[in-house]
Amino acid sequence: MATLNLLILVSLAYVALLFIIAFVADRLAVTGRSTWLRTPLVYTLSLSVYCTAWTFYGAVGYAARSGLEYVTIYLGPTLVMVGWWWGLRKLVRIGRSQRVTSIADLISSRYGKSNLLAIGVTVLAVIGVTPYIALQLQSITLSFSIFFRDEGRSYSDTTVVLWVAAGLAVFAILFGTRNLDANERHHGVVTAIALEAVVKLVALLAVGIFVVWGMSGGIAGTMARIDASPIGQWQVDGGRWAAITFLAAAAFVCLPRVFQVMIVENDDERHLRTAAWAFPLYLLLISLFVVPIAAVGLDVLPPGSNPDLFVLTVPLSQGKDGLAMLTFLGGFSSAMSMVIVAAMALSTMVSNQIVMPIWLNARGGGASVSGDVRHIVLLSRRIAIAVIMALGYFYFELSGGGTALASIGLISFAGVAQILPALVGGLFWRGATRAGALAGLSVGFALWTYTMLLPGIGGGVITDALMQNGPFGIGWLRPHALFGIEGMDPTVHAVMWSMSLNATVFCLVSMAGFPGPLERLQGAQFVNVFDHSAGPRGWTGSVAQSEDLMIMSQRIMGAREAVDFFRREAASQGGRGHLPEPTPLFLDRLERELAGSVGAATAHAMIGQIVGGSSVSVEDLLAVANESAQLMEYSSQLEAKSAELSRTARQLRDANAKLTQISLQKDAFLSQISHELRTPMTSIRAFSEILRDTEGLAIEERNRCASIIHDETLRLTRLLNDLLDLSVLENGQVNLNLSRGNLGDVLDRALSTALTGVERPLSVRRRGSAEAVTINTDLDRLAQVFINLIANAQKYCDAERPELTVSVHDLNGKVAVDFIDNGSGIPKEVQAVVFEKFFRISGEKAGGAGLGLAICREIMHRLGGEVAYLGGHSGSAFRVSLLAESEVAAR
Amino acid sequence: MGRQVLLIEDEPNITEAIRFLLTRDGWQVATHADGGNAVDVIRAIRPDLVILDVMLPGKSGIDIVRDLREIEQLRALPVLMLTARGQLRDREMAERAGVTRFMTKPFSNAEVLAAVRDLNAQASGG
């Protein structure tokens, strides 16, 4: 009883200690006094997040079951650290230059910021890591259960797991989402993990030393015990060794939690160099006593004891409660650090790659990070952590908690390893495409699910029948014997198929397609990251660069302003001359100054190019492109505006010219009317005054005066009538009175009207047969036109025996009526203007105002026909044409 | 002093009215209706006064005055211009061309008589 209570007390105290350490480290990091935290040692220790409860408890169990095979779990990361540290360095460099926040972010960045890919990787990671989290829950539960049983108390697996899961979730939320850091760094967590790494190492070494020197009497005794145990006789299976070593190596690179501490939390890529030897050393130390503990456990504990718990049960069996408690803390540390970092990393992926894009889209753009967004991010991460923990819990419940720790771990490893082809391909092969990555991932994920994950969950999803006979009885689709390859170890089988097909599909699809522009840009950035980026952060530069900066600034700000600015800056630095030292402070100010002219992104990229202190990232380039696009947009808008203005100006000019012309026409018209009115009025006035003023006027003279006045009055009336008629016709207010009639009848009427009572005779020649045409028009108006033309001929024909020929003929479906006289005709030069108002052939004084033909033209226009002067005749020749059965639109 | 007036006007009724008026006032009135040869007619008749319409067939009254003023002997010949266009512009143009007096139709008979007498007196006096 006392032990259990003490254990709980110690555990709580330990958690509190971790909390305080994390809190203090965060504080120091904020105030910038955390240099002692940013050491290669802390970095190396934090990498031990790789070593989970599986390593802590499971390795011994693994050794007890499968001999030295457990070494592969350590061998993989060791090979990566020693043999591939340059690849890791590349990852770290990319992570920094691209501000990568997770492995999903890295993959999506590489393949043209593909959201789909990010979601795919995130989902894969969540599903892949879920069994792993279940594994941690199981290990903590198991270790608790030992103490419970030791106390002889009733014990419920489910309850404990639930509490442990909830506790860890709260812990992860408190630790991992306390605040939001732009670079996704968590100094507090990393420091706490480093401490936990020490605790687990010390605990395992302590048990190991106790077993070797306390129980077996030294190294020789231990060796003897090992030889005596079954471990000595285990055969090494080459295939499994290779497969699991590869899996461990792949997982080490791809596991979200390792990626988090190794890439995202990395402060200085030089730390990697230390870690390259220090971390393998850590692995060596932590694995040193695995075999002795397993051998002694198998030896001293009753058969059937769970070898996964030898680390705890061996000291307990020897009555070393204190040591067992330390071991418990070690295991607890392992589980806790894994769960916290994994939950943190996964929640970052979920919130950044899934929740935020959806949320921002739903809000319709507006990607500015306001307090509101911050709140959403934190909330989504907290929920994500809770959900991930719940998934782990349910997986534990589903799998029954019975499976050995090691095999659950391998399922997880194989899951996240599916990311490897896309990751490595993206790092070293510029031809890798988004489609390839997506296809490879999908294929690998599907195969892994089918051959490993579902069989691992056991009963329900994949039935025994399916395992035996394949789906629908198709033998070659059996999960553990795909394509007829039988007798292979299930793990090796799954790894071989999923990884090889994943990589093959990835390569084939990549080669078949062609990367998009953003992918190619990002591909170059990733593959050649060392050419593009420099190590240190921030701006640095030399005085020589100051001159370049000056030249550039002069172009942007203007020569005088730039010189003034540089001189001011130089003076504020306490120097002489006009060139300041390119200190970060100065460069920041210059950037702000330039940003006012060319935009922030362009300014940043320009200074970056000259100073070279920071790479010009794709985001920078895109931002520059955006700014340019905006400028071009503005300029094209201006251009459009200016074109519109000049168009409007032209329209105004045209309208003005038209108005001027109309005004001139109006003036001329008024002047003409005035003249036409004044002339008869002059006669009327003169003769009426004569009548009034002259005494003794002879009767003949008086009659003469009166008749002139009468004539001139008629002339005035005629003129006014014509003017009104023309005005009505021109304004379109005329009412047409359509009716059917015979053309010949209309001509008869017109001739008799025009020629009745005239002094000078005009002989008319007609051909009656052709005139028998039915027309549908305003017959009175048509007659008016005819009368006008006949009267003109009667008045103006200058032949000795005036003669008018009226001929009717068909003209392409129209009726043409020609009026041709035998006079001298109208001079060619005025033929074009005979229809204009007030036109009169000079010298003619027949009392007309020159409106008759204008009226004829308007009438024919209204009737849908026309009247024209016919050239080519010796006399005057007019043609009236109209539709035979015309449907005159009442206009 | 001479009492001969040449009336150049293409509107027959107006011609008749003025002729009646002036004849009764004791003037000798010659008439002509065409602008084209008006200058020749003036030169041939050598009237003491010319009454000239503006809108004439052949040549406008304005042009006729211009031509008259080019001829040495006719430079001082008084010209009374009658016009149906009473706009300021027409009056200015007429005065620039050398018209002695300008009168807008329709005029009163008394006005015409007064103008003729006045112009004749001026020409005699000057």
Token pair belonging to A734: 């005329």
- d(CA A303, CA A313) in angstroms, rounded, equals 13
Pick A184 or A14 by higher pLDDT: A14
Cis peptide before B106 (omega within 30 of 0): yes
A830 reaches B (C-beta below 8 A)? no
- d(CA A540, CA B64) in angstroms, rounded, equals 96
Angle at A565 between CA A559 and CA A568, to 5 degrees: 140
Q: What letters, b where the CB count within 10 A reaches 16 and e where it falls short, cover A201-220? A: bebbebbbebbbeebbeeee
Evaluate if residue A886 carries a pLDDT over 70.
Answer: no
A576 reaches B (C-beta below 8 A)? no
Cβ separation of B17 and A679 shorter than 8 Å?
Answer: no
Mean pLDDT along residues A118-135: 83
A678 reaches B (C-beta below 8 A)? yes
Pick A595 or A719 by higher pLDDT: A719
Residue B38 belongs to a domain with what CATH number? 3.40.50.2300
Out of B14, B86, B87, name the one closest to residue A686 (CB).
B14
In chain A, list all ranges with CATH 1.20.1730.10: 51-403
Quote the domain boundaries for residue B108: 4-125
- d(CA A661, CA A654) in angstroms, rounded, equals 10
A469 reaches B (C-beta below 8 A)? no
Token pair belonging to A720: 């006014």
CATH number of this structure's domain A51-403: 1.20.1730.10
- Residues A779 and A850: beta-carbon distance below 8 Å: no
Number of domains in chain B: 1
What is the chain B residue with the closest CA to A843? B57
Evaluate if residue A364 carries a pLDDT over 60.
Answer: no
Out of B17, B34, B106, name the one closest to residue A678 (CB).
B106
Residue tagged 């100065």 (tokens): A586
Evaluate if residue A696 carries a pLDDT over 70.
Answer: yes
CA distance to partner chain B, nearest, from residue A841 (Å):
9
Provide the phi-psi class of A882: left if phi over 0, else alpha when psi is between -120 and 50, else beta. Answer: beta
- d(CA A807, CA A816) in angstroms, rounded, equals 8
Cβ separation of B85 and A689 shorter than 8 Å?
Answer: no
CATH class of A625-715: mainly alpha
- d(CA A453, CA A442) in angstroms, rounded, equals 15
- d(CA A754, CA A437) in angstroms, rounded, equals 99
Q: Which of A447-461, A471-485, A548-562 has the lowest mean pLDDT?
A: A471-485
Cβ separation of B11 and A679 shorter than 8 Å?
Answer: yes
Q: Tell whether the torsion through CA atoms of A46, A52, A56 and A61 is positive or negative.
A: negative
Segments of chain B with pLDDT less than 70: 1-2, 86, 125-126
Residue tagged 């040692």 (tokens): A41
Residues of B in contact with A676 (CB under 8 A): 84
Of A829, A750, A737, give the one whose Cα is nearest residue A789: A750
Evaluate if residue A85 carries a pLDDT over 80.
Answer: no
Cβ separation of B107 and A685 shorter than 8 Å?
Answer: yes
Evaluate if residue A534 carries a pLDDT over 60.
Answer: no
What is the chain A residue with the closest CA to B89? A671
- pLDDT band for position A539 (cuts 50, 70, 90): very low
> 3-state class of A738 per DSSP?
strand
Pick A749 or A237 by higher pLDDT: A749
How far from A432 is each of A111, A255, A429, A619, B30, CA to CA, in Å? 8, 21, 6, 20, 114
How far from A647 is each of A660, A885, B64, CA to CA, in Å? 20, 46, 48
Token pair belonging to A698: 């002879």
- A444, amino acid identity: G
Q: What is the pLDDT of residues A779-819, one digit of tens each?
A: 888 888 998 888 888 888 888 888 888 888 888 778 889 99
Report the residue of B22, B93, B105, B108 to disrupt the A interface, i.e. the one with the largest count of A CBs within 10 Å: B105
Cβ separation of B105 and A694 shorter than 8 Å?
Answer: no
Of A102, A142, A140, A155, give the one whose Cα is nearest residue A124: A102
Cβ separation of A674 and B21 shorter than 8 Å?
Answer: no
Q: What is the pLDDT of residues A564-588, one digit of tens each?
A: 888 888 887 776 667 777 777 787 7
Evaluate if residue A535 carries a pLDDT over 60.
Answer: no
Evaluate if residue A174 carries a pLDDT over 90.
Answer: no
Cβ separation of B11 and A693 shorter than 8 Å?
Answer: no
B45 reaches A (C-beta below 8 A)? no
φ, ψ (nearest 5 deg) of residue B22:
-70, -40
Q: What is the pLDDT of residues A825-876, one digit of tens each?
A: 888 877 777 787 777 665 554 456 678 888 888 888 888 888 888 888 888 8
Evaluate if residue A168 carries a pLDDT over 90.
Answer: no
- d(CA A807, CA B59) in angstroms, rounded, equals 38
Cβ separation of A681 and B21 shorter than 8 Å?
Answer: no
- d(CA B31, CA B14) in angstroms, rounded, equals 11
What is the chain B residue with the closest CA to A840? B57
* Interface A:B, Cβ pairs < 8 A: 71
Cβ separation of A686 and B84 shorter than 8 Å?
Answer: no
Q: What is the pLDDT of residues A269-282, one digit of tens each?
A: 778 888 888 888 88
- d(CA A349, CA A390) in angstroms, rounded, equals 17
- Residues B116 and B18: beta-carbon distance below 8 Å: no
Helices (H) and strands (E) in chain A, counts: 37, 7
Domain spanning A734-883: CATH superfamily: Histidine kinase-like ATPase, C-terminal domain (3.30.565.10)
Token pair belonging to A270: 């030089």
Pick A367 or A43 by higher pLDDT: A43
A155 exposure class (CB count in 10 Å sphere: 0-12, 13-18, 19+): middle
- Residues B4 and B30: beta-carbon distance below 8 Å: yes
CA distance to partner chain A, nearest, from residue B11 (Å):
8
CA distance to partner chain A, nearest, from residue B48 (Å):
23
Residue count (chain A)? 891
Return the percent helix, strand and coil in chain B, to nearest 5: 50, 20, 35
Contacts of A205 by beta carbon, 8 Å cutoff, 6+ apart: A285, A288, A289
Determine how many CB atoms are found less than 10 A away from the CB of residue A322: 12
